[in-house]
């Protein structure tokens, strides 16, 4: 009567290799999915390399529209180029001004003037939400101020670009003469080079993990030679 042969259970080393190989392949799949998604997102940039919103109209009867504080964490800007650049395109019914500055300077400039602070945005449909701050004095010409980190003014469509830095910042849109009644079409864009870098990084890491996982599984299931008996014949014959 012939005994039924059974496969020997995996040794501890082989079992560890199988677990490591499967885990590596699962992580590779996740990284490949993430990398593909990021590279697809990067392909949605415009010809100048920016993710951009559509041009939407911002209107106020006051002297200015300012954003709430934009807080940029200094720890995240230690890596040069992490955030990239901000681009603002503005087109007003009158000669228009757009600028970005430290929030404290914007607050001091507008504190005695009626202005609207943009606190929130709904995208679809586009709907801005403002907090109206009262004031009785005209702020004067914004272009005459020296605290702007980046600014632009004039007729027709204007564009400013600003390399993102750490701190608290505010974006301001006004008529170039500082008068009441701002009516402007605005588009915001960001270059965000990190998306491209992460996409390629995740994709390369996924290939490395595929090679590692395949190597571990191949090693785990590689047929080992049977140990020889003292007389030179293979054991188990």
Boundaries of every domain in the chain: 14-42+195-221, 51-190
Tens of pLDDT along 147-192? Answer: 999 999 999 889 888 888 888 899 999 999 999 999 998 887 777 6
**pLDDT value of position 78:** 42
- Do residues 178 and 63 lie in contact, with contact meaning Cβ atoms separated by under 8 Å? yes
d(CA 31, CA 209): 9
**What are the tokens at 42?**
């990067």
**What are the tokens at 190?**
């960001």
> Dihedral angle at the C-alpha atoms of 51, 55, 60, 66, nearest 10 degrees?
20
- Do residues 115 and 62 lie in contact, with contact meaning Cβ atoms separated by under 8 Å? yes
Which residues are CB-neighbours of 42 under 8 A, at least 6 positions away?
195, 196, 199
Give the CATH number of domain 51-190. Answer: 2.60.120
- Do residues 30 and 218 lie in contact, with contact meaning Cβ atoms separated by under 8 Å? no
**pLDDT value of position 61:** 93
Per-residue CA distances from 150 to 18, 89, 166, 229 (Å)? 57, 13, 15, 84
Q: Residue 88: beta bridge partners?
A: 160, 188
Does residue 81 surpass a pLDDT of 80?
no
d(CA 148, CA 59): 22
Tens of pLDDT along 86-125? Answer: 888 888 888 999 999 999 999 999 999 999 998 876 766 7
Q: How confident is the model at residue 237 (pLDDT cuts 50, 70, 90)?
A: very low
**pLDDT value of position 38:** 59
106 HSE (CA, 13 A, CB side): 28
Cα 83–chain centre separation? 7
């Amino acid at each position: 009567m012939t005994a039924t042969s059974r496969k020997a259970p995996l040794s501890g080393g082989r079992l560890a290799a199988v677990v490591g190989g499967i885990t590596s392949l699962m992580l590779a799949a996740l990284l490949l999915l993430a990398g593909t998604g990021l590279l697809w997102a990067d392909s949605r940039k415009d010809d100048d390399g920016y993710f951009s919103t559509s041009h939407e109209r911002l209107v106020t009867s006051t002297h200015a529209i300012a954003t709430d504080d934009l807080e940029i964490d200094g720890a995240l800007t230690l890596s040069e180029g992490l955030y990239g650049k901000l681009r603002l395109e503005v087109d007003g019914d009158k000669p228009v001004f757009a600028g970005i500055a430290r929030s404290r300077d914007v607050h001091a400039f507008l504190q005695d003037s009626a202005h609207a602070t943009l606190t929130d945005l709904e995208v679809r449909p586009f709907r801005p939400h403002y907090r109206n701050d009262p004031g009785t004095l005209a702020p004067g010409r914004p272009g005459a101020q020296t605290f702007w980190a980046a600014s632009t003014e004039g007729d027709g469509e204007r564009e400013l670009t600003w390399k993102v830095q750490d701190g608290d910042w505010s974006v301001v849109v006004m008529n170039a003469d500082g008068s009441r009644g701002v009516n402007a079409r605005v588009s915001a864009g960001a270059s965000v080079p990190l998306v491209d870098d992460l996409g390629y990084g995740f994709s390369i890491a996924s290939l490395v993990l595929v090679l590692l996982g395949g190597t571990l599984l191949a090693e785990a299931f590689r047929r080992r030679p049977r140990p020889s008996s003292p007389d030179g014949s293979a054991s188990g014959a």
